[in-house]
Structure 1
Amino acid sequence: MQTTTLSFANLHNHGELFANLFRARKQSFIVQKNWDLPEVDDMEFDQYDTPQSRWIAIHDMGEVLAGIRLTPTTAKCGVYSYMIRDAQQGLLGGSIPQNLLWGPAPVDAQTWECSRVFVSHSIPQMYRRKVHFKMVEAMTSSAREQGATRLIALTGANWPRWYGRCGLTAEALGPVMWIDDGDFQCVSIDLSSKMH
């Protein structure tokens, strides 16, 4: 199992991996979860997939097992910044409630957003924990390489049950909310203890 952090600057070094990551996202979010998201050429994407973001692929023998997108909270592309902030400002048409945070969404060079997190449904249950640990390891190191000391994420509301097991220190940033197919909550993940 390998982990690769992709950027627009290094895509050419990784063959089909970037496209395969977006194909795996389509499978996870559009096919499995039935979310109404943009797609083209069998790939899911949105307005936050810009050169400002980084994408983490957990892959093995050409198959993408899991993925994560990291976006700086200082990002700007047209009217958009990053998903949590844009939801709070009402730019997402209500697909994510505006009151998802207790305070204003941060805009800080050391805070990055973690989004489009998925694990392929084809991975047997007995391997999922290993994949989760790889994801956390890759997410933490990739974010730290970008200068992040904190990540924010809109994640499943069951996060307290598994974040600790994966070695993450986090706290809630907003209320638990039903969105699309489940309960979600915004969290802040502290990376300061992960500094090298």
Structure 2
Amino acid sequence: MQMTTLSFENFHTHGPLFSNMLKARHRTFIEEMGWEIPSEGNMEFDQYDTAQSRWVCVHDGGRVLAGVRLTPTTASCGIYSYMVRDAQRGLLDAIPANLLDDDAPIAPHIWDANRLFVAEGVETEIRREVQMSLMGHMVRSARELGATTLLGLLPIGIPRLGRRLGIDMEPGGPVMKIGGVAHRCYFVTMASKMH
């Protein structure tokens, strides 16, 4: 099992890993969860998959096991910034605008974490290891990018995984159903004890 952080600068060194990750997102969010979001060629993508983002991917050879996208809260592409803020601004129909208790932050040390998934078909005996690897590598990658805090609209079960790694996650808004799954905004403080 490998962990890789992809960017527009290193795609070329990882063969089809990026497109395989977008295909895994398509299977997860469109085929399995039934979300109505953009896709082409069995790849799921949206307006936040830009050169400003990074993609943390857990994989075994060419098989993508899990992933998450990191976007700086300072991002800007046309009218869009980052997913949580744009939802709050009413730009995303599928996500309620009241997802945060306070105004969405814009700061170089805060990054948005979204599109977190573990691929369907990941075997039960390695699923926990895959989840833990994804969370740990997400935090390490975010730290390397200069982040001290992540903000994510995440499934409500994620904080249990975070606690096992020493990651503090504080609720930032109400629980809401998105695509039939209970989600909540969390602020993830990347404690120095996490390794």
Distance in 1 separating the partners of 2:184 and 2:22: 24
Shift of 1:111: 0.2
Runs of 5+ in structure 2 lacking a partner? Answer: none
Alignment check: 8 A CA contact 1:132 1:166 kept: no
Report the aligned-residue RMSD.
Answer: 1.4
Alignment check: 8 A CA contact 1:21 1:67 kept: yes
Shift of 1:97: 0.4
Aligned to 1:27: 27
Give the partner amino acid of 2:125.
M
Give the partner amino acid of 1:84.
V
Shift of 1:192: 4.1
Where do 1:122-141 residues align within 5 Å? 122-141=121-140
Give the partner amino acid of 1:7.
S
Shift of 1:158: 2.8
SS at match of 1:193: coil
Aligned to 2:187: 188
The count of residues paired between Structure 1 and Structure 2 equals 195
Distance in 1 separating the partners of 2:34 and 2:169: 29
Distance in 2 separating the partners of 1:92 and 1:137: 29
Shift of 1:161: 3.3
Q: Which string of whole-angstrom CA distances, capped at 9 and with x for unpartnered residues, describes residues 12-68 of structure 1?
A: 111101110101100110011010011111100000000000001111021000111
Distance in 1 separating the partners of 2:73 and 2:193: 20
Alignment check: 8 A CA contact 1:144 1:195 kept: no
Aligned to 1:112: 111
Where do 1:87-102 residues align within 5 Å? 87-93=87-93, 95-102=94-101
SS at match of 1:105: coil
Distance in 1 separating the partners of 2:28 and 2:10: 25
TM-score, length basis structure 1: 0.95
Aligned to 2:172: 173
Distance in 1 separating the partners of 2:75 and 2:194: 23
1:77 paired to 2:77:
yes
Give the partner amino acid of 1:128.
R
Alignment check: 8 A CA contact 1:3 1:58 kept: yes
Alignment check: 8 A CA contact 1:140 1:194 kept: no
Distance in 2 separating the partners of 1:119 and 1:194: 25
Where do 1:41-60 residues align within 5 Å? 41-60=41-60
Distance in 1 separating the partners of 2:128 and 2:194: 24
Distance in 2 separating the partners of 1:66 and 1:26: 12
Runs of 5+ in structure 1 lacking a partner? Answer: none
TM-score, length basis structure 2: 0.96
Distance in 2 separating the partners of 1:104 and 1:38: 27
Distance in 1 separating the partners of 2:136 and 2:13: 22
